[in-house]
Each structure stands twice: as C-alpha cells, then as structure tokens.
Amino acid sequence: MSDTSRRPSPEQQAELRIGEILRAAASWAREAPGALEPAIRAVCVRLAEMVADQRHYLSPLPEPQESERRAVLSLIADRLRSPTVTRSLDPHLKALEELELRATGSWSAVPTAQTEWISTAIQYLEGCARKLPAGERPDPYWADDVVAGIIASVRALIGIDELHARTEARYSGPVRRGALPPEEE
C-alpha cells in the first residue's frame, strides 16, 4: 500500500508551479490582441523567474521546509530559463534583456528596483501595442492592468505573496508601528 499523504518532490512541485505560471501567462494574454500574446507571456516568464530568484531574501523557515522551499524556487527559476519554456518567446526575452530586466540581487529587497522593473515592463508592452494597427490596439492602461495582474498571479502561484510583510518585519527593527487613527465620518 502506498503512502498517499506523501508530499510531492521539489521537482514535482516546481513542474506543477511552472505549469500554473504558464497557464496564468496564457490567461493574461487572452485578454489582449493575439499579436501581443508572446510579449505578455515573456513578461510573465521573466517576472516569475525574478520572483523565484527572491528565495535568498525570504525569512528562513524551520528545516526541512527551508531546504525544500529553496530547492523548489531554484528549480522554478532554472526551468523558467530553459529552452522548453523560452523557445517561442526568445525575441521578446532578448528585447527585455536589452532593457536590463534580468533579475538582480536588489530586485526583491529594494522597492525602487521593483518599481523600475514594473515601469519598464509596462513600457515594453505599450511599445508592442503601438506596433499594432490603431483599431487593434488595447485600451489605455491595459499594460498597467496586465503587469499588476501578472505580479499578483505569479507571487501567489510561487508562494511569495507574503514577501513584503516578511521583508518589512525583518528590517523594521524594534520600532513598533502605532495603531491606525480612527476613520472620520
């Protein structure tokens, strides 16, 4: 009799999450004209890679969970760079690289680096949309919505949506924040 309560291996967890990330990318791309699908998928893959690379900045978990989380996130980041994932996205990934969107050590900890990446991703998608005929272009601010949605989706799928709270707790020191003032009517 096999043990059905057994956790999937880090490799299996990584493959499941990569499949979820690629489905999320396809879902976000469905909302835009078909010509923009590869650009949206490339932004999603690059963002997911960068989020997975944040594994070094997370507060440690008790062992063996910490080792498993690091292994899964490392596998996700590595596999998102693999030809299996990037093959049809190469021109867009190269364009993003030229805009210096590769993951940096500061991306996960420095808000200005995150803001720069988000702005550049939005500008990239808007530039791709400007190449379409006027009647096929998405509505204004569509790129803002797509990038924000991708960020939320990828962080949730990878399990890093608590990153901000952990980083804040880690670096805020012993100073406690006061309660919020009551709302005025």
Average pLDDT over residues 88-109: 72
Query: Number of H helices and number of E strands within the chain?
Result: 8, 0
Q: How many structural domains compose the chain? A: 1
Asked if 67 and 86 touch (Cβ cutoff 8 Å), the reply is no
Q: Is residue 1 part of a domain?
A: no
Among all chains, which residue has been given the structure tokens 């210096």?
A: 100
Convert the pLDDT of each residue in 125-137 to its tens digit.
999 999 999 989 9
Decide if pLDDT at 178 tops 70: no
Q: Is residue 175 part of a domain?
A: no
Q: Is residue 3 part of a domain?
A: no
C-alpha 150/C-alpha 148 separation (Å) is 5
pTM: 0.74
Q: Is residue 22 part of a domain?
A: yes
C-alpha 37/C-alpha 35 separation (Å) is 6
Convert the pLDDT of each residue in 139-158 to its tens digit.
888 999 999 888 888 878 77
Task: Please provide the DSSP assignment of 106-170 as one string.
Answer: TTTT-HHHHHHHHHHHHHHHHHHHHTS-GGGPPPTTHHHHHHHHHHHHHHHHHT-TTHHHHHHHH
pLDDT bucket at 173, cuts 50 / 70 / 90? very low
Q: Is residue 93 part of a domain?
A: yes
Decide if pLDDT at 80 tops 80: yes
Share of the chain above pLDDT 90, in %: 21
Minimal CA–CA distance to 155: which of 73, 98, 60?
73
Q: Where in the sequence is the domain holding 157, given as residue range(s)? A: 10-168
Q: Is residue 106 part of a domain?
A: yes
Q: Is residue 69 part of a domain?
A: yes
Angle ∠(99,101,105) on CA atoms, nearest 5: 140
Task: Tell me whether the omega of the peptide bond preceding residue 64 falls within 30 degrees of 0, making it cis.
Answer: yes
Q: Is residue 145 part of a domain?
A: yes
- pLDDT value, residue 172: 45
